Amino acid sequence: MKRPGFWYQAREIARKDLIVEGRAGEALYITVPFGAVALMLIPLAVGTDKPLLATIGPGMYLAVSLLFGMLVAFRQTATDDASQRELLALLGTDPAAKFVGRAATSLLLMLVFSAVLVPVTILLYNPGRIEGWPWLILVIGLLASGLAMVGTLAGSVTAGLKTRSTLTPLLVAPLAMPMLLAAGQVLEALRDGSSILAWIVLLITTNLAMAAIGVATAEALEESSS
Amino acid sequence: MTRSRLVLPVLALVALGVGFAAAVGAPREATQGEFARIMFVHVPSAWLAFLAFGVTLLGGVMWLIRKNMLWDRIAASSAEVGVFFTGLALITGMIWGYPVWGTFWDWGDARMMSTAVMFFVYTGYLALRRSVPDPETRARRSAVLGIIAFVQVPLVYFSVTIVRTLHQGLTFTGPDSSIDEGFVGPLLINLAAFTLVYVAFTTYRTRLLKIEDDLEAEEAIADLELAGLGITEPRLGGAAVDG
């Protein structure tokens, strides 16, 4: 029997993860509403100064996307137990395909998460019209994709550890900060009318670096968790 | 401790003394006055942090290729020393920043922010090491994280060229480098002294890690002899890798 190709394997892993997520609803039915609640908490903490909220709204959106995006990336439904890992290994699944498939699922869920939070932010913060907003769609996509890969990598590094739930955010948050910084600077640059090219390049470079590291180290991490 | 093992710390201490004398003897900076002397600790600390994390990357990659635990110990020791130097660079930068910039911390400064991020990334690396009890699993996962974490190093280094903020540009290699000749000598002396300190710290920490690993292995054998092969004693050293 011919061994399935790389992209077929990645697609099947992603499909399996989506089915599990569809059954559990961990990301979409628990994390997404929780993210919306977080956006509501901020005005309660900083006060109801409308001009201030309009100014900080887009930044709060990015911060909440990052913090709750982390929860989406290392959700429990994306965790393989020992028997699942052994079965995948026995089937000859390419670890790199597993990384790509898992990151793709996280990206899809994070895009949904980000899309849901946009109208919530607009309704709660009324940030007004941002010039060059189509660029923001690209930035949100790159942020989600980078976060999906960092989250998947960190999830693999901490797989099976009893400290996983506390350790993973500590690993992901600082690694994701350059992406948050770049996304925040794009917002500022769009407001000022200055160039956003350097920040887009930074986001793309970080994404490419994470993709390359994820694929290159997948096999080593697979051996470690089996 | 044998006499030969004392050579490195003694050399490092002497070099630090010479570095201190060179820093005190350097000319007074025209606008910043005595505060500029913090540079002789701040700049070498930052450079040594880069070097330390570079060695962590190298140690991780070499472990993945050779599977020799010495490389893992070197990577771990270097990361610990690198976190120390990063912390030192951050603290000295803040102490210098208050009188010169008027603030300990500037949120808009790309170098400060990226250095703080790098500090936390490698703190996470150390936290991961403490969380994995099995030496081989720990070495493998740390090696991978060491590779991921190193992405921060070029980001920190080039942050001053990507964004022009409060922090000055590259000291020697930048297009607008304007360091006075009177400062170059003392700075290089301190860089050499700090490098010796780094080598001494890393060497001793690597040896200490080897002793810890040997002790753990001995304890594991003793436990097996006591309880038999079918039973393993609950351990306080960390969580088991399962599931």
Give the model confidence (pLDDT) of B175-187 as tens digits: 566 667 778 888 9
Whole-number percent of chain A with pLDDT over 70: 97
Closest-approach residue (CA) in chain A for B243: A81
If one compares B161 and A58, the residue with the highest pLDDT of the two is A58
Residue B117 sits in which domain range?
Answer: 9-167+182-227
* Residue B210 resides in a domain: yes
> How far apart, in Å, are the Cα atoms of A49 and each of A52, A117, A120, A191?
5, 21, 18, 20
pLDDT at B242: 46
Q: Is residue B172 part of a domain?
A: no
Residue B147 has pLDDT above 60, yes or no: yes
Judge: A171–B143 Cβ closer than 8 Å, yes or no: no
DSSP string, chain B: --HHHHHHHHHHHHHHHHHHHHHHHSPPBTTTBGGGGGHHHHHHHHHHHHHHHHHHHHHHHHHHHH--HHHHHHHHHHHHHHHHHHHHHHHHHHHHHHHHHS-S--TT-HHHHHHHHHHHHHHHHHHHHHH--SHHHHHHHHHHHHHHHTTHHHHHHHHHHHS--SS---TTTSTT----HHHHHHHHHHHHHHHHHHHHHHHHHHHHHHHHHHHHHHHHHHHHHHH-TT-----SS------
Lowest mean pLDDT among A95-104, B61-70, B209-218: B209-218
B216 found inside a domain:
yes
**What would you measure as the largest C-alpha separation in chain B, in angstroms?**
74
pLDDT for residue B237: 52
Residue B200 has pLDDT above 70, yes or no: yes
CA-atom Rg of chain A in angstroms: 18
Report yes or no on B241 lying in a domain: no
In a domain, A45, yes or no: yes
Domain count, chain B: 1
Range of the domain at A56: 6-225
Looking up residue B88, the CATH number of its domain turns out to be 1.20.120
Residue B171: pLDDT band by 50, 70, 90 thresholds?
low
Per the CB < 8 A criterion, the answer to whether B142 and B76 are in contact is: yes
Q: Which of B43, B135, B175 is nearest to B96 (CA)?
A: B43
Count of structural domains, chain A: 1
Quickly state the pLDDT bin for B243 (edges 50, 70, 90): very low
The reply to whether B154 falls in a domain is: yes
Confidence tier at A67 by pLDDT (50, 70, 90) = confident
| pLDDT at res. A145 | 94
Residues of B in contact with A220 (CB under 8 A): 64, 140, 143-144
Q: Report chain A's mean pLDDT, rounded to a whole number.
A: 87
**Which chain B residues touch A207 with a CB distance below 8 Å?**
none
pLDDT tens-digit profile of B13-66?
A: 999 999 999 888 888 877 778 888 899 999 999 999 999 999 999 999 999 999
Cα(A20)–Cα(A29) distance, integer angstroms? 13
